[in-house]
Structure 1
Amino acid sequence: MTGVPASAAGGSSGARRAAAGAAAAASTAAPGKVAGTAAARSADGGAPAAGPGASSGGRHGGTAGAAAADEAVPGGDAGLDAQDEGKTPRGAKIAAAAVNQASVWNIANLLTMLRLVLVPAFVALMLADGGYDPAWRSLAWAAFAIAMITDLFDGHLARTYNLVTDFGKIADPIADKAIMGAALICLSALGDLPWWVTGIILGRELGVTLLRFWVIRYGVIPASRGGKLKTLTQGVAVGMYVLALTGWLATLRWWVMAAAVVLTVVTGLDYVKQAIVLRRQGIAERKAALEEKEA
């Protein structure tokens, strides 16, 4: 009986073990994971490598290949992150929209409401006891001063903290014109201020309001520095007339009112110019948009 050489038997046994290790590596690694398969092959032209090293190489290669495959899968974490870049989640958009919708009962609107309530209170104090009592005039001045101070803060608060509402857009200018108009009319009715001064100031305010509505479809006329200075000067001048001043203070208030009238006229003409320019630009832009759409 011819014996099988030990080397051949060992080689056959080693080959079987190497084949088993390669099969285990193949079952662990996904198709296309070349690293695990390559590690299980020897350098003699593709024969399986003998011994436990082949199995170890297959496991290591399979693990590396699986990691590479996970990175390449579009549905993995990296793919989701890449797909989410540049996109705002739907929930975030809804939350942002809810934040932008400011409540009507915010601090800016409450100050505007306070100013509206102060108008009839100011008139009652101004005309109390015939309208010439210094004590009542002082109380009327206090109501007027509070109204003017709130006018300085409510708009700033609304813009700074995103509290702009449709109510505020309508009520704020009404409150401004109401308190100033009430003070001017009372002063003229009492003979403290000429009616032509009241006519110029109120005519300018009414004209600017109509101009804003005239060009509102084309844009908004921004408040200029001259307009803010005009408002401040008017407030100081009217406040000085509300108080029962005499002597050099009475002379000073005349000059302050004269400056207020000049600023009223100059800024009014500037608003007219801005309104005309804004309307022309708006018409030209609409015309260009229509021509582009038709083309």
Structure 2
Amino acid sequence: MTGIPASAAGGSSAARGAASTPGASGATGRPGAKPAKGQAGASVAKSVSRPDGPDALGGSGPADGQEGARPARGGKLTAAAVNQASVWNVANLLTMLRLFLVPGFVALMLADGGYDPAWRSLAWAAFAIAMITDLFDGHLARTYNLVTDFGKIADPIADKAIMGAALICLSWLGDLPWWVTAVILGRELGITLLRFLVIRYGVIPASRGGKLKTLTQGVAVGMYVLALTGWLATLRFWVMAVAIVLTVVTGLDYVRQAIVLRRRGIAERRVAAEEAER
């Protein structure tokens, strides 16, 4: 149709067919009249240009005034499967390896009374592997976006488990005073609890001193695990002394950061509440 009224066509069959077509509305407002060519072209252009049109992305989009298309029946199950599969990444596997090494390390450490140099060397190898994986799993998780809720919980547990097992075994065998074990483990568990207490106000980042403390502790404990004698035994004593000093100093610094973070968070919440009341 070119927009000429149907009556002008002398009652042609085309006009009669247009009038009998149900559900159509023409430009003149009469029910059953076909749209003009210009209007039909505009309708086609609209359906093509709309992102939710029937041909958008090869699917059928929602019509005007209708709700969005329902997701596929298995969509949620698929998303859940992807989330579960993401837990099994390299970083988390290294963390789990470190957890599995803890009972093996204890068995090697206490084998044959705990004083056999050969068994102590194997125990040192297990401890060294655990410390090395501790250095790599966090780096891999942050670099390749492999951070998961499981890793956030399991990684600090694995760190404390292998270090705590080594310290307790050494004190049990009489190679290390119990007060050293108490200071190191008390600091580690206390700071971990403190992080959870102030997490509502923010995260306490790991400082360079804390990283140096972890490295020094690992070296010192590793030297005590080995059956060293002579000047190496004297050297490990001083390395452990440095580790204890760093443990105490960094622990106090974390306490200071937690106090500042809590005060700042409380102040920000108070200001936000006052602005909301205005």
TM over 0.5: yes
- How far 1:287 moved relative to its partner? 1.4
Structure 2 residue aligned with 1:110: 93
Q: 1:228 aligns with which of 193, 200, 211?
A: 211
Structure 2 residue aligned with 1:187: 170
- How far 1:290 moved relative to its partner? 1.5
Whole-Å separation in 1 of the counterparts to 2:47 and 2:150:
49
The number of aligned residues is 223
Whole-Å separation in 1 of the counterparts to 2:97 and 2:177:
29
Structure 2 residue aligned with 1:151: 134
Whole-Å separation in 1 of the counterparts to 2:183 and 2:247:
8
Residue type of the alignment partner of 1:209: T
Q: For 1:189-223, what per-residue CA distance to the aligned partner results, in whole angstroms no more than 9, with x for missing partners?
A: 10001111111100100110111011011111100
Q: Secondary structure at the match of 1:218?
A: coil
Whole-Å separation in 1 of the counterparts to 2:274 and 2:149:
33
Q: 1:280 aligns with which of 263, 266, 270?
A: 263
Between the aligned residues of both structures, percent identity stands at 86
Q: 2:149 aligns with which of 158, 162, 166?
A: 166
Unaligned runs of 5+ in 2: 1-44, 52-67, 69-74
Whole-Å separation in 1 of the counterparts to 2:95 and 2:203:
21
- The 5 Å alignment of 1:250-265 reads 250-265=233-248
Whole-Å separation in 2 of the counterparts to 1:282 and 1:105:
35
Within the alignment, does 1:199 sit opposite 2:179 as a pair? Answer: no
Displacement over 2 Å in runs of 4+: 74-80
Q: 1:245 aligns with which of 224, 228, 231?
A: 228
Structure 1 residue aligned with 2:17: none
Q: Which has the higher helix share?
A: 1
Whole-Å separation in 1 of the counterparts to 2:240 and 2:173:
17
- How far 1:288 moved relative to its partner? 1.5
- How far 1:291 moved relative to its partner? 1.5
State the TM-score, normalized to the length of structure 2.
0.71
Within the alignment, does 1:209 sit opposite 2:170 as a pair? Answer: no
CA RMSD, Structure 1 to Structure 2 (Å): 3.1
Residue type of the alignment partner of 2:101: L
Q: Secondary structure at the match of 2:245?
A: helix
Unaligned runs of 5+ in 1: 1-73, 81-89
Structure 2 residue aligned with 1:141: 124
Whole-Å separation in 1 of the counterparts to 2:88 and 2:128:
23
Q: 2:111 aligns with which of 128, 144, 148?
A: 128
Within the alignment, does 1:294 sit opposite 2:277 as a pair? Answer: yes
Q: For 1:45-100, what per-residue CA distance to the aligned partner results, in whole angstroms no more than 9, with x for missing partners?
A: xxxxxxxxxxxxxxxxxxxxxxxxxxxxx9699998xxxxxxxxx9xxx9xx99x9
Residue type of the alignment partner of 1:190: L
Whole-Å separation in 1 of the counterparts to 2:269 and 2:100:
42
Q: 1:271 aligns with which of 246, 254, 259?
A: 254
Whole-Å separation in 2 of the counterparts to 1:79 and 1:198:
68
Q: Secondary structure at the match of 2:182?
A: helix
Q: For 1:224-261, what per-residue CA distance to the aligned partner results, in whole angstroms no more than 9, with x for missing partners?
A: 00000000000000000000000000000001000000
Residue type of the alignment partner of 1:106: N
Whole-Å separation in 2 of the counterparts to 1:182 and 1:108:
22
Whole-Å separation in 1 of the counterparts to 2:148 and 2:203:
16
